[in-house]
């Protein structure tokens, strides 16, 4: 890929050479698709979408080699969904609330109001008796990354090369204190899983380590606070959840023609790999003998955080596997979280909006089905 950023270019930027322009996509007409194994590399042409494929995908191809050394693809296949443990039969509705991109530390007052409404809904302090009894069926909350806003990062963080360490700003300290107070309200009522994301104070490379307990002096007292890694696997009432804070999906979006987060999520599931572009374009801890991102067991719910919009889809595998794919929207910009029904594997968005009318600040909760 001619347009792919390179660490050598990042270093040369420090020596006052012309910086590369920021791009939303790094694909171009000159890109070439190459299949490689331990022994050889061969260029691919034919019935395969060059721009949809990403580096790191493991696929099988069928075709023939031409005289000029290129391989003409007639067909190809992926590993498809791995084996799945059957989902337990639940007698009643139980819900898991998924939210991501809280973006604490930003200047948006609206998002803070929406966030407080979300917490009030989950803890049963909002709405009429019916809504409160519905909130009582929420068995867990899962926060998928970017709890802090990008504005809490160093001002130079976007321009400095990624290999340089990030410094902590006073803004992020204040945002973590606020997060601790918000988590305290939640963990007093139900279990909460907290995953780190791109802008949170933990390591940059995947898998990201859990946020440290010492950052949460108020909420870490409760055993219901689960500080998780990213990616994260959770077994909730026998339903297996697996997901990331969205870095893997956003990276594939940049390096392929795929736009929809849901389509990318399904593609990684069928490739049986959470992050095929790591370590090529996505920061990844160097593993020597085992790749932790390979999906050896199929989840029942597969999610990714910090998407632009909410989308969900039920995917079925060749051996009867059923997987609910969910893209969790960024809460700070959409004021939307998701409720997953563990009994039926249905998913619905829960939206909060704040508006001002007749100079009186009013709040409205809107649950869309």
User: Do residues 149 and 105 make contact, with C-beta atoms less than 8 angstroms apart?
Assistant: yes
Beta carbons within 8 Å of 241's beta carbon, 6+ residues apart = 96, 142, 232, 233, 234, 235, 299, 300, 301, 303
* 207 and 241 in a common domain: yes
* 146 and 31 in a common domain: no
* 162 and 18 in a common domain: no
pTM of the model: 0.85
Q: What is the mean pLDDT of the chain?
A: 83
- pLDDT band for position 360 (cuts 50, 70, 90): very low
End residue of a domain, out of 42, 77, 112: 77
* 171 and 50 in a common domain: no
**Which CATH number is 292's domain given?**
3.60.21.50
* 326 and 236 in a common domain: yes
* 311 and 163 in a common domain: yes
- Domain range for 52 is 7-77
Helix axes 247-254, 261-271, angle to 10 degrees: 100
End residue of a domain, out of 24, 43, 77: 77
- Whether residue 308 is contained in a domain is answered as yes
User: Closest by alpha carbon to 117, among 366, 328, 297?
Assistant: 366
Report the pLDDT value the prediction gives residue 187, as an integer from 0 to 100.
92
Report the pLDDT value the prediction gives residue 125, as an integer from 0 to 100.
80
* 53 and 180 in a common domain: no
Report the pLDDT value the prediction gives residue 38, as an integer from 0 to 100.
86
* 116 and 46 in a common domain: no
Q: What is the biggest distance separating any 2 CA atoms in the chain, rounded to whole angstroms?
A: 77
- pLDDT band for position 25 (cuts 50, 70, 90): confident
* 36 and 182 in a common domain: no
Q: In this structure, what token pair is assigned to residue 124?
A: 């049963």
The count of domains in the chain is: 2
pLDDT digits (tens, 9 = 90+) for 264-312: 999 999 999 999 988 888 888 888 888 889 999 999 999 999 999 999 9
End residue of a domain, out of 28, 49, 77: 77
pLDDT digits (tens, 9 = 90+) for 150-206: 766 655 544 444 444 444 456 678 888 889 999 999 999 899 999 999 888 889 888
User: Do residues 331 and 103 make contact, with C-beta atoms less than 8 angstroms apart?
Assistant: yes
φ, ψ (nearest 5 deg) of residue 107: -95, 5
- Tokens 């100079």 found at: 359
φ, ψ (nearest 5 deg) of residue 116: -65, -35
- Whether residue 264 is contained in a domain is answered as yes
pLDDT digits (tens, 9 = 90+) for 59-113: 999 999 888 888 999 999 988 999 999 988 988 889 999 999 988 877 665 567 8
- Whether residue 85 is contained in a domain is answered as no
Q: Is 313 left (phi over 0), alpha (psi -120 to 50) or beta?
A: beta
* 303 and 214 in a common domain: yes
Whether residue 17 is predicted with pLDDT greater than 50 in this model: the reply is yes
- Whether residue 332 is contained in a domain is answered as yes
* 281 and 209 in a common domain: yes
């Amino acid at each position: 890929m001619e347009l792919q950023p390179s660490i050598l270019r990042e270093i040369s930027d420090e020596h006052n050479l012309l910086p590369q322009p920021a791009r939303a996509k790094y694909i171009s007409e000159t890109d070439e698709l190459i299949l490689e194994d331990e022994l050889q590399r061969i260029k691919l042409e034919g019935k395969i979408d060059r721009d949809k494929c990403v580096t790191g995908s493991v696929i099988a191809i069928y075709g023939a080699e031409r005289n000029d050394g290129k391989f003409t693809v007639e067909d190809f296949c992926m590993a498809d969904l791995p084996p799945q443990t059957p989902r337990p039969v639940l007698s009643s509705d139980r819900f898991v609330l998924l939210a991501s991109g809280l973006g604490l530390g930003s200047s948006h007052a609206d998002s803070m109001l929406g966030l407080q409404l979300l917490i009030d809904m989950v803890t049963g302090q909002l709405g009429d008796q019916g809504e409160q009894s519905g909130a009582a069926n929420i068995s867990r909350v899962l926060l998928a990354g970017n709890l802090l806003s990008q504005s809490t990062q160093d001002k130079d963080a976007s321009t400095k090369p990624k290999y340089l360490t990030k410094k902590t700003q006073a803004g992020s300290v204040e945002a973590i204190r606020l997060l601790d107070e918000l988590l305290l309200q939640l963990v007093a009522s139900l279990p909460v899983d907290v995953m780190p994301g791109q802008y949170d104070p933990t390591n940059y490379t995947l898998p990201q380590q859990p946020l440290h307990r010492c950052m949460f002096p108020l909420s870490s007292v409760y055993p219901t606070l689960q500080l998780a890694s990213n990616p994260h696997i959770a077994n909730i009432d026998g339903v297996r959840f697996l997901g990331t804070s969205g870095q893997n999906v956003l990276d594939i979006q940049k390096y392929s023609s795929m736009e929809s987060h849901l389509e990318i999520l399904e593609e990684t599931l069928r490739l049986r790999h959470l992050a095929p572009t790591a370590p090529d374009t996505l920061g990844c801890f160097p593993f020597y003998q085992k790749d932790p991102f390979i999906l050896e067991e199929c989840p029942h719910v597969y999610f990714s955080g910090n998407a632009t919009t909410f989308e969900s889809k039920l995917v079925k595998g060749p051996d009867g596997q059923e997987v609910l794919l969910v893209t969790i929207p960024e809460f700070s910009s959409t004021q939307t979280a998701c409720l997953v029904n563990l009994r039926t594997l249905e998913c619905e968005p829960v939206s909060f909006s704040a508006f001002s009318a007749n100079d009186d600040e009013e709040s409205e909760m809107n649950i869309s089905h």
